[in-house]
Amino acid sequence: MSFLQSNLDIVKARWPKLYQAIESADLSALTVESEQNTLIINNIQLTTNYDHAHEAALQLSRIPTTAESAFIYGTGLGDTARLALRNKNLKNIHIIVLNIGVFAHVMNALDHTDWLNAKEITLHHYNDINEVYAPFCANPAELTLASDECATLKDRILLELNQSYIESKQALPQVAKTIENNLSFINSDKSIAALPKSKSDIIYIAAAGPTLENHLSWLAENKPFIIAVDASVKTLLAHRITPDIVVSIDALAHNMFNQDDYNKLAAAALVYFPSISTHVVEQWQGKRYFSYSNTPMYQAYKSQINSPTLFSAGSVIHPAIDLAAFIGGKSIVLLGADFAFTKNKSHANPEKSAESKTPLNFAVEFANDWVFNGHGEKVATMPNLKGYLRDLERYIDANSQIKFLNGSLEGAQIAGTSLWQAK
């Protein structure tokens, strides 16, 4: 028996835009089977086959019982909606459809007229929601089945779901020990507040992605103001490019440099976080400036680190970009900011003929995740790189007074940027 018409009559009456999307959807890309108590879509169980109501309760446990509104990403089989309606404190329940085809098959399989008619319920097409609003929960299977067009939203949901794990990694005892070891340097070095403002309105960020290789000749010839992330330094130095500033925040940053590199970087300033490898700070021959971020790892040390903060969400590229804004950059050009395994590599190589020899070789070969590049093509990546990308896009959106340019269409498409072309 099909319940499709009765369900869609309600959708048409209440959410006509969503209904139109269903009418025009191509459902042929989905294979659907019924399995006792659930649906199997593209070989993925939409819910558990054992007790999907209990599973829905587990997902809804993320939403406080005192909340007056909630967001549910993915409809599942309607269990989260029904269970949410039992909470009389919830006056507004927003449910976001992550895949129109999946939603149509769900509407076809079961009677959903009860919760579709509920005044507390509002359905949203994924095109109308591009952020993760709290409190929220998500149907895990639908994050896998989400349409390609809502890849950004899916990545942001996963980032939020993983946030507690990410923060737990920042709270490791060895991280605190490194910070404490570096406090003595902070007492003698200057904060980024002492950095001179840039004389150039345009600041170039040298990230370590493979497309940095495309710009090395131009950088060597034109010598613009460059802020480099630590992982890009060897590639720059191999082409006789000395950055103006190097940003480093990682406890493993000592792996990025050898003694000859330190000698060649004597004219470059180092901007570092207290979590950096102590060896790097000790060996640096040029000027040093410190900063930190508003992340959990630094909360216990804020009174000891007298500096303006820099934005950071896990990647060194974040504070490098925020530093460019801090010293007055009106246009920020991102070179090598790929967030993906462009050219089937993880990093730019110091020499054009060199093989990519990094710990990420295995990840490149077996990557299952992807992002769209600037050409609209899927390119392989890792979950953490997607997270860094999505947080950067939020930063760009919040800093509309700055013009952001991306040096390549081969790497990940970065929302809010336009293409930079060498002149």
Q: Which residue has the tokens 């009106």?
A: 330
pLDDT at 356: 45
193: left (phi over 0), alpha (psi -120 to 50) or beta: alpha
pLDDT at 175: 78
Q: 293 to each of 203, 266, 307, how far by Cα in Å?
A: 21, 26, 10
Tokens standing for residue 23: 């009418």
Tokens standing for residue 271: 């901007």
Using 50 as the pLDDT threshold, list the residues of the chain that sit under it: 353-357, 359
Beta-carbon contacts of residue 190 (< 8 Å; ≥ 6 apart): 287, 288, 289, 290
CATH 3.40.50 maps onto the chain at 4-161
Rounded to whole angstroms, how far apart are CA atoms 111 and 49? Answer: 18
The answer to whether the beta carbons of residues 316 and 230 sit under 8 Å apart is yes
Q: Thinking of the domain 4-161, which architecture would CATH place it in? A: 3-Layer(aba) Sandwich (3.40)
Tokens standing for residue 72: 């549910």
Rounded to whole angstroms, how far apart are CA atoms 310 and 395? Answer: 11
- Reported as type and span, the H/E element at residue 33 is strand 32-35
For the chain, what is the largest distance between any 2 Cα atoms, rounded to a whole number of angstroms? 76
Q: Where are the alpha helices (DSSP H) in 252-302?
A: 259-264, 278-283
The answer to whether the beta carbons of residues 253 and 234 sit under 8 Å apart is no
Rounded to whole angstroms, how far apart are CA atoms 234 and 358? Answer: 13
Q: 92 to each of 120, 130, 157, 174, how far by Cα in Å?
A: 5, 18, 20, 44
pLDDT at 353: 42
pLDDT at 358: 52
Instruction: For residue 71, list its beta bridge partners.
Output: 94, 136
Mean pLDDT of all residues belonging to the chain? 92
pLDDT at 350: 73
pLDDT at 361: 57
pLDDT at 254: 83
- Reported as type and span, the H/E element at residue 141 is helix 140-145
- Reported as type and span, the H/E element at residue 331 is strand 331-335
Beta-carbon contacts of residue 381 (< 8 Å; ≥ 6 apart): 339, 340, 341, 367, 369, 370, 371, 412
Per-residue model confidence as pLDDT tens digits over 72-106: 999 999 999 999 999 999 999 999 999 999 999 99
Q: Are strands 121-125 and 92-97 parallel, antiparallel or unpaired?
A: parallel
Tokens standing for residue 101: 């085809």
The answer to whether the beta carbons of residues 373 and 411 sit under 8 Å apart is yes
> In what order do the strands lie in the sheet containing 38-41?
32-35, 38-41, 44-45
Per-residue model confidence as pLDDT tens digits over 56-72: 999 999 999 999 999 99
The answer to whether the beta carbons of residues 334 and 406 sit under 8 Å apart is yes
Determine the Cα angle at 183 with ends 179 and 189, to 5°.
125
